[in-house]
Structure 1
Amino acid sequence: MKTFLKPLTVEEEKYYLQRYQGGDLEAKNVLIERNLRLVAHVVKKYQGIDEDLDDLISIGTVGLIKAIQTFDSNKANRLSTYAARCIDNELLMMLRSRKKTSKEVSLYEPIGTDKEGNEIHLLDIIENVPVDVVDTYTFKEDVKKLYELIESVLTPREYEVVKLRYGLFGEEEYTQREIAKRLNISRSYVSRIEKNALLKLRRFFLPS
Structure 2
Amino acid sequence: MSQSTLKVNELHDDAEFEENGLDVFDEKALAEEEAGDNEASDDELLSQSAAQRVLDATQLYLGEIGYSPLLTAEEEVFFARRALRGDVSSRRRMIESNLRLVVKIARRYNNRGLALLDLIEEGNLGLIRAVEKFDPERGFRFSTYATWWIRQTIERAIMNQTRTIRLPIHIVKELNVYLRTARELSHKLDHEPSAEEIAEQLDKPVDDVNRMLRLNERITSVDTPLGGDSDKALLDILADEKNNGPEDTTQNNDMKQNIVKWLFELNAKQREVLARRFGLLGYEAATLGDVGREIGLTRERVRQIQVEGLRRLREILQVHGLDIEELFRE
| TM-score normalised by length of structure 1 | 0.50
Residue 57 of structure 1: how far off its partner (Å): 1.1
Paired with 2:94 and 2:165, the residues of 1 have a C-alpha distance of 35
Alignment correspondent of 1:116: none
1:113-143 CA-to-partner distances (Å, cap 9, x unmatched) read xxxxxxxxxx7xx9xxxxxxxxxx952289x
Task: Provide, for residues 76-119 of structure 1, a one-character-per-residue CA deviation record: whole Å limited to 9, x for no partner.
Answer: 51111110111000000111111221231xx46xxxxxxxxxxx
Deviation of the 1:75 alpha carbon: 4.1
**Alpha-carbon contact 2:73-2:141 (below 8 Å) kept:** yes
Q: Could you tell me whether the CA contact under 8 Å between 1:19 and 1:27 is conserved in 2?
A: yes
| Structure 2 residue 117 is the aligned partner of structure 1 residue 82 | no
Task: Show the 5 A alignment for 1:1-16.
Answer: 1=59, 2-3=62-63, 4=66, 5-16=68-79
The percentage of counterpart residues that share the same residue type is 30
- Residue type of the alignment partner of 1:39: V
8 Å Cα contact 1:10/1:78 also seen in 2: yes
Query: CA separation in 1, counterparts of 2:139 and 2:164?
Result: 35
Does 1:39 pair with 2:39?
Answer: no
Q: Quote the Cα distance in structure 2 between the aligned partners of 1:49 and 1:141.
A: 18
Counterpart CA distance in 2 for 1:28 and 1:89 is 21
Query: Post-superposition, which runs of at least 4 consecutive aligned residues in structure 1 deviate over 6 A?
Result: none
* 1:6–1:37 Cα contact (<8 Å) kept: no
The amino acid across from 1:33 in the alignment is: E
How many residues get paired? 122
Q: Aligned letter for 2:86?
A: G
Counterpart Cα distance in 2 of 1:60 and 1:18: 23
Counterpart mapping for 1:177-196 below 5 A: none
Return the match for 1:139 from 174, 184, 209.
174
Q: In 1, distance between residues paired with 2:97 and 2:114? A: 25
- Provide closer, same or farther for how the CA distance between residues 76 and 55 of structure 1 changes in structure 2, counting only shifts above 3 A: farther
Query: Which position in structure 2 is the counterpart of 1:158?
Result: none
CA distance in 2, matches of 1:32, 1:10: 15
Unaligned regions of 5+ residues in structure 1, if any?
Answer: 109-122, 127-136, 149-167, 171-208
Residues 119 and 154, structure 2, Cα contact 8 Å, conserved in 1: yes
Cα distance in 1 for residues equivalent to 2:86 and 2:123: 24
For residue 22 of structure 1, the aligned residue among 85, 91, 94 is 85
Kept in 2, the 8 Å contact 1:8–1:34? The answer is yes
**Larger relative CO (CA 8 A, sep 6+): 1 or 2?**
1
After superposition, where does 1:1-208 map in structure 2 within 5 Å? 1=59, 2-3=62-63, 4=66, 5-75=68-138, 77-104=140-167, 107=168, 139-140=174-175
The worse-fitting range, judged by mean Cα deviation, of 2-11 and 89-98 is 2-11
Q: In structure 2, do the counterparts of structure 1 residues 50 and 98 end up closer, same or farther at CA, with 3 Å as the change threshold?
A: closer
Gaps of at least 5 residues in structure 2 are 1-58, 178-206, 218-330
**Partner-residue secondary structure (3-state), 1:23:** coil
SS at match of 2:69: coil
